[in-house]
Amino acid sequence: MHLLLKVNLSLAAVFCAGLTVTGLISKNVLQENAKREVMSHASLMMEAALAARSYTSAEIKPLLEARLHKEFLPQTVPSYAATQSFSRMQAAFKEYSYKEATLNPTNPRDRVVEWEADVVRNLRDHPDLKEVVGERATPTGQSLFLARPIRIRDAQCLACHSVPSAAPTSMRALYGDANGFGWKLGETVGSQIVSVPLAVPMAQADRVFNVIMTGMVATFAGLLLVVNLVIYRFILRPMRRITRIADAVSAGKAEVEPFDIRGNDDIAVLGNAFNRMRRSLEKAMAMLG
């Protein structure tokens, strides 16, 4: 097997092993980082929804409260404001979804489904929890979600959700007296949930992973080319010249030129030794002659 082929095979084996180990480690790290980044975006969206709730409760509802007995205005409901503002945000973040999942909502749109009910009950059973991050299976694949509790901290909320008689007549006329009542101060009644398909962070991780792997392969290809050029220029080509001269000398061709020594590297030392050996051999042959 030629020396250059041995070197190339050895380097390729080391590179493949390193590429495999690096690929496995980097893929896991990139996936976790992508998940954290997606959840960071979800957290910002949650904060935007909370800001919409707070603004509506503090500034919009007091302005229109007098009209609520005659006409129900959903724009005065904090959860409605948060949901509507998020729906406009979805124009830029189509993969994300937001819901104020409630166990006993006034608006049927907000009623929990089975997995959301489990999240709400978990938050209710653990009042110290500020948020929950998890994964769930969906018909289209795995999905990530960020959930925060909706707790009744303001007694003003009970004006519409304590007993039907305390709620605006216009609201009861629209939604009836059966749902959205019986809430208590300090109770966890639901959860704000931002969901995003797991495919989104995985696609982000895959894009970065492909760039890293492509860069490593390109770097190795460049390194292999340089190594081959160096080996050929400074090792193989001088050795072939020495071999050619040695073959000519062994065939009795005295007119062959000596090996041209350049530099002081190991090949030059070998060439110098070869030239001395050749001169000694020529002297010995001349004495015998």
Domain identity same for 230 and 187: no
End-to-end Cα, the chain, rounded Å: 41
Pair 63, 193 in one domain: yes
Same domain (yes/no): 22, 98 = yes
Q: Is 288 left (phi over 0), alpha (psi -120 to 50) or beta?
A: alpha
Residues 147 and 265 in one domain: no
Three-state SS across 23-56?
HHHHHHHHHHHHHHHHHHHHHHHHHHHHHHHHHH
Alpha helices, H only, 141-198: 158-161, 169-175
For the chain, list the strands marked E by DSSP. 97-102, 132-138, 141-151, 188-197
What is the chain's pLDDT, residue by residue, as a tens digit (289 residues)? 578 888 889 999 999 999 999 999 999 999 999 999 999 989 999 999 999 988 998 888 888 877 777 788 888 888 889 999 999 888 888 889 999 999 999 888 899 999 999 999 999 999 999 999 999 988 888 999 999 999 988 777 777 888 888 888 888 888 888 888 889 888 999 999 999 999 999 999 999 999 999 999 999 999 999 998 988 887 788 878 777 777 777 776 666 677 666 767 777 777 778 777 777 777 776 677 6
pTM of the model: 0.71
Q: Residue 13: enclosing H or E segment and its boundaries?
A: helix 3-55
Is residue 172 located within the same domain as residue 51? Answer: yes
State whether 275 and 186 are in the same domain. Answer: no
Domain's final residue, options 152, 168, 201:
201
Which residue, 155, 186, 201, sits at the end of a domain? 201
Residue 51, both tokens: 């800001």
Per-residue pLDDT, 244: 78
The confidence score (pLDDT) of residue 188 equals: 93
Q: Which of 155, 179, 201 is the last residue of a domain?
A: 201
Same domain for 259 and 234: yes
Token digits for 240?
């072939």
**Same-domain status, 94 and 113:** yes
- Same domain membership, residue 164 and residue 87: yes
pLDDT tens per residue, range 148-182: 999 988 777 777 888 888 888 888 888 888 888 88
Q: How many domains does the chain have?
A: 2
Residues of the domain holding 195: 1-201
Same domain (yes/no): 197, 216 = no
* Res 161: pLDDT: 85
Judgement on whether residues 190 and 239 belong to the same structural domain of the protein: no
The answer on 132 and 258 residing in a single domain is: no
In tens, the pLDDT along 243-285 reads 777 777 777 666 667 766 676 777 777 777 877 777 777 777 6
CA–CA dist 86, 109 (Å, integer):
15
